[in-house]
Amino acid sequence: MSHEHEHEHEILSEEDKKFIRDKFQKELIHPVPIKLLVSDNCEYCHLMEDLLRILANLSDGKIQLTVEKINDNWKEKLKVDKGPVILIGENNEVQYTGSPLGEEGWAFLETIVLTSNKKHGLDAYEGKLKALNRKVRIETIVTPTCPYCPHAVLTANRIAIASGGKVVSDCVEAYEFPEIADKWSVTAVPTIVLSVEEPYSGQVFVVSVPKENQLIDAILKVAIGE
C-alpha cells in the first residue's frame, strides 16, 4: 500500500478517475477477476499494482484483484520470468505481458468492461470459437506510442472473450519484453503472432491491424493445423 500514494497523482487525474468510475458504474455487470503477477527487478510492477488498485477501487467491488509473485509454475506455464503480467477473466483469457500504458490505456479499460458485460459483438462466431479443439494464442506485439496497436489488441481480446478461454489474447509490450519481440525480429508494430497451446511458439500472422473475420479465420485454420 505504501506505494499507492506516491504514484496516485501521476497515474490518474481526478477527472480521469471520475470518467472511469462513471464508465464502470454504467457498464460493469459481472465480476472481473484480474491477477497481477509481479517479480523482483521489475520496473513497472509497482506502477501496475497501484494502477490496478485504483481501478479496483473505482469498480465498486466488481474488479477482483489479486497480486502474486511469478513462481515456477507461472514461469513454466506463461514462458516469462518477470513481471508485470496481467491476467484478466475467469480463464485468464486476456493477458498483458508488460504494462498497458500510453496508447494502450483506453483499450485496456474497454477490455475490463467487455470481460464483465460480454458484449464482445462476435455472437456469430462464438460457437465456432468455443468448439476449437486446441488452445490458440494471439500474441500482439505493441509499443506504447503506436496509435493503431490498441485496435489490434482490442480485436484480439474480444475474440478471446467470445471464445470462453479457448483463445488467449496476449498483448506484449515490446520495450519491456524485448526478448519476445526479438524472437520474431519484430521492428514494426502491431505484429500479430498465432501460437497453438505453447506460448510464443508460433508464426507471424500479420504486421498490421487485421479485420476480425480475417483474424478469426486464421485462428480456426491454425487450430486444425493448417
Partner 1 sequence: MLLVNEYMSTKTDVVIIGGGPAGLAAGIYTSRLGLETILIEKTALGGQVAVSPFIENYPGFTMISGAELSKRFIEHAELMGVEFRVPEEVIKLELSSETKIVKTNKDTYEADAVIIASGASRKKLNVPGEKEFAGKGVSYCAVCDGSFFRGKVVAVVGGGNTAVSEALHLTGLVKKLYVIHRRDDFRAEIALKQRLLDSPNVTQLWNTVVERIEGDTTVRRLVLRDLKNNKQYEIEVDGVFIAIGYTPNSKIAADAGVAVDKEGYIIVDKRQETNIKGVYAAGDVTGGIMQIGVAVGEGIVAAMSAFEHVTGGWYAKKKKLKAVRIDFEKFKEKEEHEKREEEKSLFKFKL
Place of cell 477490455: 111
Query: Should residue 12 be labelled a site residue for partner 1 when binding is judged by CB under 8 A?
Result: no
What SS3 class is residue 181? helix
Inter-CA distances, 145 with 150, 158, 174, 186, 211, Å: 10, 22, 11, 15, 21
Contact present, 50 and 101 (Cβ < 8 Å): no
Q: Which of 31, 75, 151, 165 binds partner 1 (CB under 8 A)?
A: 151
Query: Should residue 191 be labelled a site residue for partner 1 when binding is judged by CB under 8 A?
Result: yes
User: What DSSP element (H or E) covers 173?
Assistant: strand 167-173
Residues 43-62 that bind partner 1 (CB under 8 A): none
If the CB atoms of residues 58 and 174 are measured against partner 1, the closer one turns out to be 174
Q: Let me know if 219 is exposed, middle or buried by CB neighbors in 10 A (0-12, 13-18, 19+).
A: buried
Per-residue x/- track, 120-149, partner 1 (CB under 8 A)? -----------------------x-xxxxx
If the CB atoms of residues 49 and 176 are measured against partner 1, the closer one turns out to be 176
> Which residues here bind partner 1, judged by CB under 8 A?
15, 103, 143, 145-151, 174-175, 181, 185-189, 191, 204, 207, 209, 211
